[in-house]
Amino acid sequence: MQNPVRTERRGPVLEITLDRPKVNAIDAATSRALGEAFARLRDDDTLRAGIVTGAGEKIFSAGWDLKAADRGEEDDADHGPGGFAGLTELWDLNKPVIAAVNGLAVGGGLELALACDLIVAAEHAEFFLPETALGLLADGGAVQRLPRRIPYNIAMELLLLGRRMDAAEAAHYGLVNTVVPGPQVMGKAREWARTLAEAAPLAVQAVKEVLRAFESLSTEKCFALMHSGKLPVYKRMAGSEDKIEGVRAFVEKRKPVFRGR
């Protein structure tokens, strides 16, 4: 049986490809396989960033495998510690992940993209949530994240009406970061991943840690938490050799050499 998830290391970047013909649907086993790939990204100190994409040129992912559901797989099946698609609930992954959306992102496919930190979309990509028409709720991240990313009423159009949003509109509302011709999706994602890999790793990881901790706090409490010493990655970054190196390299007008310590 073909492995539904392929990984390729390109220096400090891990590329993760969902490859389940014909529509890159995600069942519980595929969620666990994706979770293993994202855990590898998390646990390998020499990896700095990840890219996730779908095989082919038409479909990023059709989301939850409804054929598996029809065979009896429940939506609360064991998807692994990272939740659906291996990423939607992987709270301790502080390394950035870029979604290279090469086509349709449907239901759980959109939820996988929403769990990423940056989204590059092909011009022909479309985003939609068909769950209500199927008697379901898009609870793998869409109801939790989408109304925080785009205007509430527009999010309701996707969540309630299931309407399709094309890549240009998605960029207009800030759902995706940039739109490029289909053949350039991975090139743009790799360009951004290289930029992330060249930055100070503790600083990059601290951004995710801090923002996650701040999500439900007032501005005043955000500052208090930063000063509390309770954010371990941020604390390491503040006292790191990389911080000294970054300042020194700027003063000396040279490219910094970051070592993640």
102-119 pLDDT tens trace: 999 999 999 999 999 999
> What does the pLDDT average to over 31-51?
97
| Catalytic site includes residue 74 | no
Residue 97 per-residue DSSP state: E
> Strand, helix or coil at 5?
strand
Ordered domains of the chain (ranges, CATH): 5-197 (3.90.226.10), 200-251 (no CATH)
Q: For all residues of the chain together, what is the average pLDDT?
A: 93
Rounded to whole angstroms, the Cα distance separating 13 from 156 reads 35
The pLDDT, as a whole number, for residue 198 is: 96
Lowest mean pLDDT segment, chosen from 31-45, 83-97, 175-189, 223-237: 223-237
Q: What is the DSSP string of 189-231?
A: HHHHHHHHHHS-HHHHHHHHHHHHHHTTS-HHHHHHHHHTT--
**180 within 8 A of 188, measured Cβ to Cβ:** yes
Q: From the candidates 111, 157, 241, 245, give the one annotated as an active-site residue.
A: 111
Return the structure tokens found at 26: 């995600």
Q: Is the pLDDT of residue 95 over 70?
A: yes
131 is catalytic: yes
pLDDT of residue 37: 98
Residue 146 in tokens: 């989408």
Measured distance CA(75)–CA(72) in Å, rounded: 9
Per-residue model confidence as pLDDT tens digits over 196-206: 999 999 999 99
Which pLDDT score is estimated for 238?
85
Q: How many residues does the chain have?
A: 261
DSSP 159: I
Q: What is the pLDDT of residue 237?
A: 86
Q: What is the mean pLDDT of residues 247-258?
A: 86
Q: Is it the case that residue 225 has pLDDT exceeding 80?
A: yes
Give yes or no for a contact between 207 and 201, defined as CB atoms under 8 angstroms apart: no
pLDDT of residue 75: 65
Q: Would you say the C-alpha torsion 182, 185, 187, 188 has a positive or negative sign?
A: positive
Q: Which of 15, 126, 131, 209 is catalytic?
A: 131
What are the strands of the beta sheet with 126-128, ordered from one edge? 59-61, 104-106, 126-128, 165-166
Are 165 and 175 in contact by the 8 Å Cβ rule? The answer is yes
Q: Look at residue 199 in the predicted model and tell me its pLDDT.
A: 96
Q: Mean pLDDT, to the nearest integer, of 62-90?
A: 85
Confidence of residue 76 (pLDDT cuts 50, 70, 90): low
Per-residue b or e along 230-240, where b marks 16 or more CB atoms closer than 10 Å to that residue's CB: ebebbbbbeeb
Predicted pLDDT at 1:
60
Question: In the predicted model, is pLDDT for residue 66 greater than 90?
Answer: no
| Per-residue confidence band for 135, with pLDDT thresholds at 50, 70 and 90 | confident
